[in-house]
Amino acid sequence: MDFELLHNEADHQFEFQIDGQTAFVEYFTEGKKVYLTHTEVPASMQGQGIASQLIQKTLRHLKAHHRILVPQCSFVSAYVNEHPEWRSILSEGYQM
């Protein structure tokens, strides 16, 4: 399935609403830098590629808004490692 990315600025997270549950990645900002700190998918939905789709859409959003990625979540770091096309938005000096 293809889920719509929601930017929940009040809770500082990008999220999918799925069947009354929320999959999300939390963040905080510092200027143009966006620190992705924690990714969570409800247990009943794990293993379906939802977290990967969430991170992919979040990174597209960051790129479209000319933001700089600082991955602090291990899932986000692993995703960027596996998808080198996103290294172009990494914070300068950040090593994967």
- Model pLDDT, residue 1: 85
* Residues 96 and 77 sit within 8 Å (Cβ to Cβ): yes
In terms of CATH, what superfamily is 28-80?
Answer: Gcn5-related N-acetyltransferase (GNAT) (3.40.630.30)
- Model pLDDT, residue 51: 97
Q: Which residues contact 21 (CB under 8 A, 6 or more apart)?
A: 42, 44, 45
Query: Could you report the average pLDDT of every consecutive run of 10 residues in the chain (96 residues)?
Result: 95 97 97 97 95 98 97 95 93 71
- Model pLDDT, residue 3: 96
Q: Taking the model in full, what pTM does it have?
A: 0.94
Domain range annotation of the chain: 28-80
